[in-house]
Amino acid sequence: MSETLTGLKRSHYCGTLRAENIGETITVCGWVQKQRDKGGLIFIDLRDRTGILQLTFDETTDKAVFEKAKSCRVGTVRERSSKNPEIPTGDIEIAVTELRILNKAITPAFEITDNCKTGEDIRLKNRYLDLRRPVLMKNILFKHQVMQATRKYFSDNGFIEIETPMMIKSTPEGARDYIIPSRVHNGSFYALPQSPQLYKQLLMVSGFDKYFQLARCFRDEDLRADRQPEFTQIDVEMSFVEISDEGNDGHRHSHSAAENHIQ
């Protein structure tokens, strides 16, 4: 029977624990990556988005907890007798004192590892599993960091982040528009933006002389190595500047919009 986390709250992520945490009683949450049953000793590799942590069930573990031994939530950090230098948490393990199984999973369609050999068609059909693989999770977290750094940089340099409309009047550019039929205006259509070009020029006229946006753009064209039908770009526009203008930050800025794609 599935249990709940009522009364418990995660105190640490799996990949953040180190030797300095030895002796602490902590709460971790995640998925069972691997289980190794040695008879009177059970090891479980618990995985979350930060990494893998070894859990240990032995003769000191409560018998009911030992019988479950599938996925644990609470335990004490202790030094490992056999250390694993291959992972950041390899110096410590969790001596489990309480365990709650939130849900039992069926055998996944493929093994959740970086070197997975399963075809892309199967992985995409099970995308929620594919996104648990460390290589993809690292890419998503890296994009998050890039976007945060981008926002901080432009904000620190006087730019204003403004969202422009997603459903617009068709303004043909270098590619075909994606068309959306209107429910309230029969026979009329919206288009998805290929770029915020007209709107950012409108912003310049409105007095927003430094604009930027992490803009979602859509182009109905064949796939290319550097361009997908939908993509994100760092979109920038400035007014009251020369072709090559020295900014307050010492960097040189171009008057033209910058389209740097974040794939």
User: Given the structure tokens 């459903």, which residue do they identify?
Assistant: 167
What are the pLDDT digits (tens) for 52-110?
999 999 988 999 999 887 444 456 888 998 899 988 999 999 999 999 888 888 888 99
pLDDT exceeds cutoff 60 at 47:
yes
Q: How confident is the model at residue 224 (pLDDT cuts 50, 70, 90)?
A: confident
Give the model confidence (pLDDT) of 69-82 as tens digits: 744 445 688 899 88
> Taking residues 224-229, what's their average pLDDT?
79
Res 168 pLDDT > 60:
yes
CA–CA dist 45, 234 (Å, integer): 39
| pLDDT grade for 225, boundaries at 50, 70 and 90 | confident
Percentage of the chain beyond pLDDT 90 is 62
SS3 104: coil
Q: Helix or strand or coil: residue 157?
A: coil
Write the pLDDT tens digit of every residue in 242-255. Answer: 877 655 544 444 44
Mean pLDDT, rounded, for 37-63:
92
Residue 10's Cβ-count burial label (10 Å; 0-12, 13-18, 19+) is middle
Task: For residues 113 and 134, give the distance between their C-alpha atoms in angstroms, rounded to a whole number.
Answer: 7
Check the CA dihedral 124-127-133-135 and report its sign. positive
Backbone angles phi, psi at 114, to 5 degrees: -65, -35
What is the predicted pLDDT for the residue at 256? Answer: 41
Tell me how far CA of residue 47 lies from CA of 30, 87, 117, 254, in angstroms. 5, 12, 20, 45
Mean pLDDT computed over 105-121: 89
With 0.85 as the threshold, say if the pTM is over it. no
The strand ranges marked E within 171-250 are 179-181, 189-191, 210-218, 230-238, 244-246
